[in-house]
A and B are shown apart, each in its own frame.
Chain A
């Protein structure tokens, strides 16, 4: 009974956290939906840890808890890979932005130099 209380409370706290983050627009929707879907599976399981025992039995896994642990680790690994992929894409995007920025800055500076040069020439010709 104590265990169910601990796991159930953890699940509920996670659910509230995600919903709150989504509500405050701190999480992009695509991630929020993913975690909400995960929690819809996790919360019932945390309240009734024995729910998966039958499925585990047919797969040859000793207990439902082991099955949940196994699936959980696989899922987390996939999430990590996905995040690395996202970071790589972001780095490529910021790299392109940095290059664009450097090109524009070079252009602006070249133009400014040309303008001061021509202004100076004009001054000289007026003086002369």
Chain B
């Protein structure tokens, strides 16, 4: 329970046996009253077993569906088990669970809360095409959602019951669909969105890619996904 609400933390994980125990342990330490669901997205390592040993509930997908597929499973679990709030956290340890109560507080006023980098707290910077993509996404999505959004691809978000029910029935499994398209869809259906500044930490395991070619491809794909999301019903 956080502020009288039943809260589920959803952690989509793919081959994260190196960091998942620490992430689950930290969440349970910081937030004693919440339940943690690790969605193992078809890992080939011991992610599911390690997460279960660390005290999380585990839902193991038979094969890889991508973050979107794992998240819809998480929202279905939240809906079926009657949670008031569902919070998505990355399995690599870059999201600090101490911000969770801050996100939950905002759910009194809005339906979906995003924990955003670049919003004043912490240091995080990107350059080149990846930066252009982020600027484009935040400009367009801020207009669609009628609120300032600076970090649209953040995987740190909190949803209330209404949004949980929507996401349980509809959640795209495609590339960037879990972030960009869900924002467009949510805003279009009249739900309110707000961002909350959070500091991100260095990942406990894994490294982000820095190749310029990949950044260009990312820009193109982001543009395509955004355009498609805007012309879809």
- Name, among A98, A101, A105, A109, the residue most crowded by chain B CB atoms within 10 Å (CB to CB): A98
Closest beta carbon of chain B to A113's beta carbon, Å: 9
Inter-chain contact A103/B59, CB cutoff 8 Å: yes
Contacts of A95 in B (CB 8 A): 65, 69, 173
Residue of B nearest to A99 (CB): B73
B57 at the interface (CB under 8 A from A): yes
The 7 closest A-B CB pairs, nearest first, are: A106-B59, A102-B59, A99-B73, A102-B61, A98-B62, A98-B61, A95-B69
A37 at the interface (CB under 8 A from B): no
Interface size class of B (residues with CB under 8 A): 10 to 19
Residue ranges of A at the interface with B (Cβ–Cβ < 8 Å):
95, 98-99, 101-103, 105-106, 109-110
Inter-chain contact B57/A98, CB cutoff 8 Å: no
Query: Can you pick out 30 interface pairs between chain A and chain B where the beta carbons lie within 8 Å of each other?
Result: A95-B65, A95-B69, A95-B173, A98-B61, A98-B63, A98-B65, A98-B69, A99-B65, A99-B69, A99-B73, A99-B76, A101-B61, A101-B62, A102-B39, A102-B59, A102-B60, A102-B62, A102-B73, A103-B59, A103-B73, A103-B76, A103-B77, A103-B80, A105-B60, A106-B57, A106-B58, A106-B59, A106-B77, A109-B58, A110-B57
B72 at the interface (CB under 8 A from A): yes
Complex Cα gap A109–B62 (Å): 15
1/0 contact string of B105-118 vs chain A (CB within 8 Å): 00000000000000
Closest beta carbon of chain B to A115's beta carbon, Å: 16
Inter-chain contact A99/B57, CB cutoff 8 Å: no
Closest beta carbon of chain A to B55's beta carbon, Å: 12
1/0 contact string of B78-106 vs chain A (CB within 8 Å): 00100000000000000000000000000
Closest beta carbon of chain B to A6's beta carbon, Å: 44
Apart from A102-B62, A106-B58, A106-B59, 4 more pairs, CB < 8 Å: A99-B69, A102-B39, A103-B73, A110-B57
